[in-house]
Amino acid sequence: MHFPTDYDSIIQRIEAIQPVKYASTRNYLNGHVTYLSPYISRGVISLQQIANHVLQQYQPIQIEKFLQELAWRAYWQSVWRNLGENIFTDIKQPQQQVSHRQMILALEQADTEIDIVDKCIEDLYETGYMHNHMRMYVSSIACNVARVHWNQPSKWMYYHLLDGDLASNSLSWQWVAGCFSSKKYYCNQENINRYTNTNQTETYLDNSYEAIGQMQIPEVLKATCKNNLQTELPKTDAPHLNESMPTLVYNSYNLDPTWHANIEANRILLLEPTHFKKYPISDKVLQFIIDLSKNIPQIQVYVGEFESLQQLNNTQLIFKKHPAFSHYDGVAENSNDLFANINGNFNSFFSFWKKCDKELKQF
C-alpha cells in the first residue's frame, strides 16, 4: 500500500470510501478498509470531513459499522484528554501473567514462525502501515502468548506506523492485553488463516483458544532485545517571522492545510526534540510528516522547543489544542471535529457510542 502525501490524492481517497462493503469485509486483510488513518492521525483530514462525505450518500443506519470505527478513534482521543499521560500505564487493571517488560526479538526480526504475521511486519517496515486485524494478532502474540508487558512492543509499533497515534496505539495494546477490557484477546491459526487467506498449519497457534491461553511460552518468542528507537531530526535555521502577521503552530498531529487557510500568517511546523525523544518515530514516518506539511503554503520547518519559538516570536502563538502538546502556551483553539464535544469519562466504548449515535441522528 502506498501513501501519497499531496492533498488532492488524499481527498480522492475519501471519495473512494465504500462504507457498506466496509462492514462485511473490514476484518479481512484484503477487505475494503479506507487506508485513511495516516492522514487522520496527522490531522490532515478530520473525522468530521469523512462523516460529512459518507452521510451525503447514506443514512447513518446503513453505515453504522463504519461510523462506529470512526467513533473508536474519537473515543481513544477522549480517553487521552481525560487521562493525559496515564494512558501509558495499565488503566483498568494490571496486565496479568507478565513474564517480562522487554521487546521480543522475533517480532523485531519478523521471525515469529507465523508466516503471514512475519510478512505483515516486513510490510510495516516497508510501507508504514499494518491492517487492524494484523495489529491485533501481533499484539496478542506479544502480550498473551509471549506474555510480555504491552509497553515496549507498543513503542516499537508506534515508531514504524505512519498513522502512529499515542492514544489509539497504547489503548489498543491495553485492550488486547486485558488492561482496558474485561478479558485478553486471543487469536489462533484458524482465525488468522481465515482472515488472511492463508493455510498454515502445525504452528504454536494451531490450537483452541483455551489451549493457547494455557500453553507454555513458545521457544521462538522467548529471546528479547532492546528497543533501539531514535528519531534523527534535521537541523534547521530559526524561522523567518513577519512580525505583522500571526504565527500558526503546526506539529506532527496537526498538518491541516485548510486551517486558517484564508489569512496571512507565519506557518511553522514545530518538531520538538523532547517530544520525539520521549515518543520516537522512524525516519520514514518523519519524512511522511515533513512531506505532508508541504500541502501548507509557505510552511517553515523548525526543529526546536516551543519555548525557543516563543522567544523568537513577538506575538502570541496560535495552535490547535492537543493532549500531546499541553505545554504549548498562547491561543489554544478547540477542535471542532466529529464527537469532540462529547465530554465526560466513559468507562467503555459503548457508553461513548450511545452519545455519538444520538449526535449522528441529528446530523
Name the minimum Å distance from CB 75 to ligand FAD.
8
CB of 208 to ligand FAD, least distance (A): 22
Give the number of C-alpha atoms closer than 13 A to the C-alpha of residue 225, restricted to the C-beta side: 12
Residues 6+ apart with CB under 8 A from 179: 90, 91, 92, 93, 94, 95, 150
Q: Minimal distance in Å, beta carbon 22 to ligand FAD?
A: 7
* 149 vs 267, beta carbon nearer ligand FAD: 149
Q: Which helix (H) or strand (E) holds 125?
A: helix 115-127
* Cβ-proximal residues to 49 (8 Å cutoff; 6+ apart), any chain: 14
If the CB atoms of residues 4 and 234 are measured against ligand FAD, the closer one turns out to be 4
What is the smallest separation between the CB atom of 200 and ligand FAD, expressed in angstroms?
Answer: 21
CB of 47 to ligand FAD, least distance (A): 7
Burial of 30-39, coded b for 16+ CB within 10 Å and e otherwise, reads ebbbbbbbbb
Rounded to a whole number of angstroms, the minimum distance from the CB of residue 238 to ligand FAD is 32
How far apart are the C-alpha atoms of 161 and 180, rounded to whole Å? 22
C-alpha cell of residue 359: 449526535
Binding residues for ligand FAD (CB under 6 A): 26, 33-37, 40-41, 69-70, 72-73, 76, 131-132, 135-136, 139, 157-158, 161, 163-165, 168-169, 172-173, 176
71/299 with CB nearer ligand FAD: 71
End-to-end CA distance of the chain, in Å?
33
Residue 259 CA to residue 276 CA, distance in Å, equals: 24
Q: State which residue, 167 or 268, has the beta carbon closest to ligand FAD.
A: 167
Q: Shortest gap between Cβ of 301 and ligand FAD (angstroms)?
A: 23
Residue with Cβ nearer ligand FAD (73 or 184):
73
Nearer residue to ligand FAD within complex by CB, 173 or 302: 173
Compute the least distance from the CB of residue 66 to ligand FAD, in Å: 7
Q: Determine phi and psi for 117, rounding to 5 degrees.
A: -65, -45
- The cell numbers describing 227, all together, are 528497543
CA dihedral 64, 70, 74, 75 (to 10 degrees): 60
Nearer to ligand FAD, 212 or 285 (CB): 285
- Residue number, 32 or 321, with CB nearest to ligand FAD: 32
| Rounded Cα–Cα distance for residues 124 and 139 (Å) | 14
Spatial separation of the C-alpha atoms in residues 37 and 161, rounded to whole Å? 10
